[in-house]
Chain A
Amino acid sequence: MKTYTFTEKKDTRSGFGAGMAELGRTNPDVVALCADLVASLKLDAFIKENPDRFIQCGIAEANMIGVAAGLTLSGLIPFATTFANFGSSRVYDQIRQAVAYSNKNVKICVSHAGLTLGEDGATHQVLEDIGMMKSLPGMTVINPCDFNQTKAATIAIADHEGPVYLRFGRPVVPNFTPADQVFEIGKAVMLNEGADVSIFATGHLVWQALEAGKILAEQGVDAEIINIHTIKPLDKEAILQSVYKTGCAVTAEEHQMNGGLGDSVAQVLSLNHPAPLEMVAVNDSFGESGTPEQLMEKYGLTAASIVAKALAVIQRKK
């Protein structure tokens, strides 16, 4: 098992803020919009350096999405930001009609996705957004795993023509991917090559997958671990190549099982190469208040859950 280390834990939303600050300096077409959550989205540096390219929209997310769509006409690249719940389910029809169907170059960038939002509880813990967004034709859906990758993804989507949903989170997590990485949309990242089981993880669960890989190695299981930072377009080739080799897979995500990464991987496998699959995800339930660690434990989004699913899915191989 390849060893991954980190020097500090950082939040992915700060990676977004760092990416925006860099874009503010390098791309004069980038405009930031926010719905009364500037500090939470870490936009302070961008706003300080580019006050004329920041649009405060107030607590009016539907209007913000429409304004973003209109801004694209003059060649501007709007980054519409808020919490994941308010940037997806609250404004789904606006995104569907004014952004996706109208094919507008809007970047919807959302923080506080999933259970790790923590104490605010289920009203704010959106666990359905990946499913909603990947259902929209033409929408790119990205869920990076740490600070460095979120920063790189933020910079990369500015150069991608078309609507993007970029999802990140609130808590600090190990920052282990390279600071100088080039983010390739739709290109899965191989973290550890293995022969016994494929673990496809996204977002905060990628680090948990690496922890699981270590535990599995101690038990003699050789796990292949792949970071699926882009849910759509999905890197089908990487998934199939891995499962051709291992013969089974586990998916891990901070999202509902319905509609998430696991669904996407199941589709690829069942259409191309049926193989046993287990999913680490929230199972048709809303979240609740608690610390991020407590919630991930209670809802089974941990390295231990990935280990258990990996051992189970290996047993299902014929």
Chain B
Amino acid sequence: MKTDELKKVASQVRRDIVRMVHGVASGHPGGSLGCTDLLVGLYFQTMELKTDESGSVVFDMSGTGEDMFFLSNGHISPVLYSVLAHRGYFPVSELATFRKLNSRLQGHPATAEHLPGIRLASGSLGQGLSAAAGAAYGKKIRKDPRRVYCLMGDGEQQEGQIWEAAAFIPHRKLDNLIAIIDYNGQQIDGPTDVVLNNRDLGAKYEAFGWKVLHMDGNNMEEVVATLTKANQESGHGVPVCIIMKTEMGQGVDFMMHTHKWHGTAPNNEQLTAALAQLEETLGDY
């Protein structure tokens, strides 16, 4: 897909995000808006996904012969749900059920309701990279050449389990795994540097044995180019970690440059103001 078209998808996904969290007066718009360009780039350009004869995506829990994505920071579920819906995994109209009773779109991604596109529950932080490692290991054992992508938050890097996985993956030469860290510098209680300083994440991952790339996660051209570079770097015995600089709340001016929209939904006036900044490109659900 051309970059202009990817940007159009991203604009619609951002509209969906603010409408979803407004619709249920809860959820996490900040990180969702910040990671929109990445998820659109992954699902509409970079990842090789299983499709039927007509080209429509088909969800297969095993992920055999296709790329797999794990969202470790599960609280940014709105962006994942919107991207999955627009990619064709389930009807876009279902986004209206987000966080409501009897919905497949749980507050945090889950498998219990069998939502196509979700392979692992996430929400309790720090666990996705380990599961992605297992999925990548499974592909190695099954001699499946496709890749596994895992997105984590930067606040999430404070979880100890992340560093267990960060040591395991290069040690086991899982070079079919590409980890991405949403480096927005914010978490619930404030700036990440103030809450618990991660210091130099890139240097830490390099010390653990990863190939580290950096990118601006809110520049679609750079997202696509860096993911392509990461794919080229993979398969050479070393896993790749992308430190992705983003702006929490990207695309809605009053949600940017603050941690306050990490887990807060807009009211009616704020929704109107937000939507005025986001072009409706694919039709609202």
Q: Residues on A close to B: CB < 8 A?
A: 31, 52-53, 55, 57-58, 60, 62-76, 78, 93-94, 96-98, 101-104
Residue on A nearest B72 in the bound complex, by CB: A66
Indicate whether A98 sits within 8 Å of B131 (C-beta atoms), given known contacts A55-B137, A58-B168, A73-B61. Answer: yes
Cβ contact within 8 Å between A58 and B68: no
Most buried by B among A64, A72, A76, A102: A102
Binding site for A on B (CB under 8 A): 61-64, 68, 70, 110-112, 119-124, 126-139, 141-142, 144, 160-161, 164-165, 167-168, 171-172
- Which residue from chain A places its CB closest to the CB of B68 in the assembled complex? A73
Are the C-beta atoms of B141 and A98 separated by less than 8 Å?
no
Asked whether A73 lies within 8 Å of B141 as measured between CB atoms, the reply is no
Are A103 and B120 in contact (CB-based, < 8 A)? no
Question: Which partner residue on chain B sits nearest A91 by CB separation?
Answer: B161
Since A70-B130, A73-B68, A98-B121 are in contact, a sample of 4 more A-B pairs with Cβ atoms closer than 8 Å, ordered by chain A residue number, is A58-B164, A66-B128, A74-B142, A102-B119
Interface pair A102/B130, CB less than 8 Å apart: no
User: Are A69 and B139 in contact, with the CB atoms below 8 A?
Assistant: no
Most-contacted residue by chain B among A62, A78, A93 (CB, 10 A): A62
Choose from B111, B136, B141 the contact partner of A102 (Cβ within 8 Å).
B111
Q: Which of B64, B135, B144, B168 contacts A57 (CB 8 A)?
A: B168
Q: How far is the CA of A102 from the CA of B138 in the complex (A)?
A: 17
How far is it, in angstroms, between the C-alpha of A31 and the C-alpha of B142 when the chains are bound?
12
CA distance A176 to B132 in the complex (A): 43
Report which of A52, A62, A71 forms a contact with B161, defined as CB distance below 8 A.
A62
Known: A63-B130, A66-B131, A70-B133. A101 touches B121 (CB 8 A): yes
For residue B136, which residues in chain A have a CB less than 8 angstroms away from its CB?
70
> For residue B119, which residues in chain A have a CB less than 8 angstroms away from its CB?
73, 102
Interface pair A62/B112, CB less than 8 Å apart: no
Are B135 and A74 closer than 8 Å at their CB atoms? Answer: yes
Q: Which residues of A contact B172 (CB under 8 A)?
A: 55
Given contacts A57-B168, A70-B134, A71-B138, contact A102 B129 (CB under 8 A): no
Q: How far is it, in angstroms, between the C-alpha of A197 and the C-alpha of B165 when the chains are bound?
A: 51
